[in-house]
Structure 1
Amino acid sequence: MRLRNKPGAHETIKNYPNIVISSLDHVKGSWKNEIFNNDNPIFIEIGMGKGTFINGMARKNPNINFIGVEKYTSVIVSALELTLENSLPNVRLLNIDALELPSIFAKGEIERIYLNFSDPWPKNRHEKRRLSHETFLRIYEDIVIPGGEIHMKTDNQGLFEYSLESFSTYGMLLKNISLDLHNSNIKDNVMTEYEAKFSKQGKRIYRCEAKFRTL
């Protein structure tokens, strides 16, 4: 999918450094004390899109800190606009690639990671780009608490099956697997913008939770 450039996106982001955190030299290990100014747990969403999910979760869970990670400037500016509109004190945004996470978060600084409607990268030669590939799982394990979790949602059956196998092979514990989320007994689901669109089209939504093993 080709993303359109959004005029003025970089300038808009620079105007809100307290929300889109751009000074990253000293944030590692300091997110609770210096960025959020509390000791609440931190959940992150990787590839947050326009921020619908992260803002919805932050509104429902004021005692949890949420960080949305999005590498495309043209997309994250929409998430910034929504965050400003909602005025939620427990939301921050990062305009980075997921590969940079270990340089920004300390070990055990994150409790949960959300992967919502990630790019499926269906061609075999692009397997390492999938956010549930072993390369990324090692990155996630490096920053989450022991026993930290990944919660995943997608409309792509191929990516879902691949991810279940990837999580399992990595030694993670799988739970709350749903092959049709909107016709399941899972409650308090907060939808993403893609999820709302796809569900209206009658597409099945797949969901699972994967837990890193503790020593």
Structure 2
Amino acid sequence: MRLRKKWWARPELESSSFFITRPLEYCGKWKEEFRNDNEIHLELGCGRGKFISEKAKANPNINYVAIDLKDEVLVYALRKVIEAEVSNVRIVPLNIQLIEGVFVKDEISKIYINFCNPWPKDRHKKRRLTHTRFLSEYKKFLKIGGEVWFKTDDTGLFEESIEYFKSSGFNIEYITYDLHNCDFKENITTEYESKFASQGMKIMFLIAKLMPYKE
């Protein structure tokens, strides 16, 4: 779906100290930006911010960086963060394909990927945020022992992502094909998730842990 341009979105975003317009300048300095030594979690594709704002409110001792591309989406994420009355979130406008150089080695402890585009055609699969091409980039800044939490409603994407993770040095620590009817207690629903679940669709979820490199 094409978003209608909202000319007021960027000025509203830039009026907030939570909005980072030049993320490359913060590479290796994110803890200085948050003014503490708490671990940093990253959401790739934060959408309208329901997930990240609720996560931040529930975990005040963790810092969060939320990335998405369009101002028209990020402005609503910012509003949710402000409504949640949290200060441990930074919002970044960025094409995730250009994430190289935004974080240094070991700067991120956990990554969330929620309902990314499944790119079902073979010629497009390298665009998937769980593809080995992207996982190689994440490994440049995700700590050893750090985790990727991945949710989707797309079975093909989910099953192929399992193989992407395994072939990229991750161990599948937890997996379910029906998140809303399992024993996992830490789930926070996203906007898409609520919509899909209301239509009777099963939500799939896994936790992949980055393992030490073995020669």
- TM-score normalised per structure 2: 0.95
1:41 and 2:44 aligned = no
Deviation at 1:148, TM superposition (A): 1.4
Runs of 4+ in 1 over 2 A off after TM superposition: 1-7, 23-26, 99-102
Aligned positions, number: 213
User: What is the rounded CA distance, in whole Å, between the counterparts of 1:109 and 1:3 in structure 2?
Assistant: 33
Match of 2:21 in 1: 22
Query: Is the contact between residue 102 and residue 143 of structure 1 (CA under 8 Å) also seen in structure 2?
Result: no
Query: Is the contact between residue 175 and residue 206 of structure 2 (CA under 8 Å) also seen in structure 1?
Result: yes
* Letter paired with 1:26: E
Structure 1, residues 11-43: CA drift from partner, whole Å, max 9, x if none? 222222x2111133531111112x100000000
* Letter paired with 2:55: M
Match of 2:160 in 1: 162
Match of 1:6 in 2: 6
1:101 and 2:118 aligned = no
* Letter paired with 2:59: N
Match of 2:187 in 1: 189
Query: Is the contact between residue 54 and residue 84 of structure 2 (CA under 8 Å) also seen in structure 1?
Result: no
Match of 1:180 in 2: 178
User: What is the rounded CA distance, in whole Å, between the counterparts of 2:110 and 2:60 in structure 1?
Assistant: 16
Match of 1:86 in 2: 84
Query: Is the contact between residue 99 and residue 139 of structure 1 (CA under 8 Å) also seen in structure 2?
Result: no
User: What is the rounded CA distance, in whole Å, between the counterparts of 1:152 and 1:95 in structure 2?
Assistant: 21
* Letter paired with 1:89: S
Structure 1, residues 53-103: CA drift from partner, whole Å, max 9, x if none? 001111111110011110122111110111122221111111011123231
User: What is the rounded CA distance, in whole Å, between the counterparts of 1:200 and 1:152 in structure 2?
Assistant: 20
User: What is the rounded CA distance, in whole Å, between the counterparts of 2:8 and 2:163 in structure 1?
Assistant: 41
Match of 1:213 in 2: 211
Structure 1: gaps of 5 or more residues: none
Query: Is the contact between residue 146 and residue 209 of structure 2 (CA under 8 Å) also seen in structure 1?
Result: yes
Correspondence 1:59-70 to 2 at 5 A: 59-70=57-68
Work out which of the residue numbers 198, 204, 212 in structure 2 matches 1:200.
198
* Letter paired with 2:13: I
Counterpart of 1:102 in 2: which secondary structure?
coil
The alpha-carbon distance between structure 1 residues 157 and 145, as it changes in their structure 2 partners (threshold 3 A), is same
Match of 2:136 in 1: 138
Query: Is the contact between residue 182 and residue 205 of structure 1 (CA under 8 Å) also seen in structure 2?
Result: yes
* Letter paired with 2:28: G
* Letter paired with 1:19: F
Q: What percent identity do the matched residue pairs reach? A: 42
Deviation at 1:115, TM superposition (A): 0.3
User: What is the rounded CA distance, in whole Å, between the counterparts of 1:188 and 1:24 in structure 2?
Assistant: 29
